[in-house]
Amino acid sequence: MTEIAIDESNDLASVLDHGFVRLDDVMADDLSVVNSARVSFGKRHEEMEDSDYGLISYLMKFRHGTPFEHNAFRFHVKAPIFIFREWQRHRIGSFNEMSGRYMELPGEWYLPQEDDVRTRVGKPGRYTYERARYRDAINFNARLRESCEESYRCYQNALEAGIAPEQARFFLHVNHYSEMYWTVNARSMMNFLSLRVAETAMWEIRQYAHAVEFFFAAMMPVTHKAFTENGRIAP
């Protein structure tokens, strides 16, 4: 896993240049997996026992998925709009996002660091990405910065002229920052992590997925271990 910068309160991970993943609230532990599986036999454990580690691994391996649904993670996320476009494709979960119809969006946009500007090489289905030449990266960033600044000026001018925010926002780019709340259970989160931590996912969403995984591992360490040891496939 990538190094994640976690703040002192241990509930906020900084991501990209202005983004974050903050664990807003949580109802999740490994015992909930154990007890929702053991209810089949009318059994309940007050704390994790030796056999419970094997049970979680068994459930993961043989894809008995529903015991991993009796928990909830609520995240507050700040990310560029293009990330949310991918993230919100994950239907098993709940989303609420900042509205560009009702408020003036703050002037913040994502600019990749020079080292993170990349070229695409290879054929469809087998693309790989390589670091762009330094000069090209510098030019790209400079032009992108100018373009974002200019588009944000146009946005503010349109608002001042009385254009409705829902149309004034047409000036803004997909790298503009937005915020959302995302509530998800561990089973759906593992599907998200399986797809979005993978090398095939876009580098920027992978950084967010690493942050989500940090909180998952902290709250449900046994489940997280079983997930990683069984091929990172959601049960």
Q: ∠ CA(134), CA(135), CA(139), 5° rounding?
A: 115
Reduce the DSSP state of residue 4 to 3 states and report it.
coil
Q: Which of residues 73-92 bind ligand FAD (CB under 6 A)?
A: 89-92
Reference 220, options 31, 59, 9; nearest CA is: 31
> For residues 221, 206, 27 and 81, what is the CA-based torsion angle, rounded to 10 degrees?
170
How far does CA 187 lie from the centroid of its chain?
Answer: 15
Closer residue to ligand FAD in complex, CB, 91/126? 91
Closer residue to ligand FAD in complex, CB, 175/188? 188
Closer residue to ligand FAD in complex, CB, 89/101? 89
- Catalytically annotated residue among 22, 38, 196, 206: 196
Closest separation between CB of residue 44 and ligand FAD, Å?
29
Closest separation between CB of residue 167 and ligand FAD, Å?
26
For residues 165 and 100, what is the distance between their CA atoms, to the nearest angstrom?
6
Residue closest to ligand FAD when measured from CB atoms: 91
196 is catalytic: yes
Closer residue to ligand FAD in complex, CB, 169/196? 196
Sign of CA dihedral 81, 9, 184, 125: positive
Binding-site size, ligand FAD (CB under 6 A): 10
Closest separation between CB of residue 59 and ligand FAD, Å?
17
The enclosing H or E element of 97 equals strand 94-97
C-beta atoms surrounding 215 within 10 Å = 23
> For residues 26, 20, 197 and 27, what is the CA-based torsion angle, rounded to 10 degrees?
0
Closest separation between CB of residue 86 and ligand FAD, Å?
7
Letters for 179-198 (x = contact with ligand FAD by CB under 6 A, - = none) are ---------x--x---xx--
233 binds ligand FAD (CB under 6 A): no
Q: Which residues bind ligand FAD (CB under 6 A)?
A: 89-92, 188, 191, 195-196, 200-201
Catalytic residues: 196
